[in-house]
Chains A and B, each alone.
Chain A
Amino acid sequence: MIVTVTGGSGSGKSEYSENLLLRLCGEGRRFYVATMYPYDEESRARIRRHRKLRSGKGFMTLECPYDLKSLRLSPENGKKPSALLECMSNLAANELFMEQGAGKDAADEILSGVKALAAQTEHLVIVTNEVFSDGLSYDESTDFYRRVLGELNRRLAELSDSYVEVVYGIPVCHKGALL
């Protein structure tokens, strides 16, 4: 099963996604695929907050700031593990703007990575982000970033069984069922 979870900043989408994956995978092996690149103190603080949030939930953390399609998850006794991939907004920024990233091919590269991950998992929960509604105009590169993330969200919705928006902790379902 593939579920994509979206939401704005501080919407509670991470906590919702972690708990959703736990409901789906039960006692099974679960990975947390972390995409934030720790480039300053603020991002390090954010990483600490997320680690604290998911501590005690039994996740094995894998760092993957770019090149998702080369990621390999180890099965447990031949059984596919589950994974929480967080999040598309970091992955898109890294693929677009980091030297090692895919540049203009970011959306295709990331989608290939998501499909490769889906093939290796029993359940996959993908966290993305709502960055489209502030009514501001941006420079060309930020606008291209928004375009890439918008395209990713549309394509993720196509391949997901459920697409859920978390609004201040409240799940609002746009596709499929709430689980």
Chain B
Amino acid sequence: MILIIGGAFQGKTALAEKLAEESKGPLILNVEERIREGLLAGRAAEELGDRLLSQAGPQGVLTAREIGCGIVPADAFERKWREATGRILCRLAEKADTVYRVTAGLPQKIKG
């Protein structure tokens, strides 16, 4: 499993498409948005994490935007989303064989 993180518009998807083609595994883009939709649908963070892990499987490639590096949002749901995304991505990063952080199209391998 490969996890690709970084800011918005940094080239995460391009790298993920390339790596998913090589690994022949499922491509799961924008994990943070899936978490947001899941929370809005009333699902618990833990369940969302379990689901992402089983969908990805050992060959999966996932991308997520790093959303936790701003001022604490004034809105309670935004805070909940931000924190849940962080905790779930910690789980995904722990399970991943490789984690890349992409800046300006340049992947930095921070795990694996």
Contact = CB atoms under 8 A, between A and B. Distances in A.
Interface in B84-105: 84-87, 89-90, 92-94, 99, 101
B27 interface: no
A170 B99 CA distance: 9
A11 B110 contact: no
Interface stretch (A29-37, A59-67, A117-125, A134-142): A134-142
A169 interface: yes
Contacts, number: 74
A133 interface: yes
Given A170-B110, A170-B111, A8 B68 contact: yes
Indicate the size class of the contact surface on chain A.
20 to 34
Interface string B66-83: 111111100010010011
Given A9-B83, A10-B82, A133 B70 contact: yes
Contacts of B85: 10
Nearest to B92: A168
Interface string B1-12: 001010100000
Contacts of A116: none
A130 interface: yes
Given A10-B85, A167-B5, A168-B5, A131 B90 contact: no
A12 interface: yes
Contacts of A142: 71
Interface residues of B, number: 27
Given A9-B82, A9-B83, A10-B83, A169 B70 contact: no
A26 to B, nearest CB: 26
A170 B68 contact: no
Contacts of B71: 131, 134, 136, 138, 142, 145-146
| Residues of A contacting B: mostly | loop
B5 A132 contact: no
Interface string B41-81: 00000000000000000000000001111111000100100
B70 A136 contact: yes
A2 interface: no
Contacts of A146: 71
Contact of A133 (B5, B69, B83, B89): B69
Contacts of A73: none
Given A8-B69, A145-B71, A168-B92, 19 more contacts: A7-B68, A8-B86, A9-B83, A10-B68, A10-B82, A10-B86, A10-B90, A131-B69, A131-B70, A133-B70, A134-B70, A136-B70, A146-B71, A167-B93, A168-B3, A168-B90, A168-B99, A172-B101, A172-B110
Interface of B: 3, 5, 7, 66-72, 76, 79, 82-87, 89-90, 92-94, 99, 101, 110-111
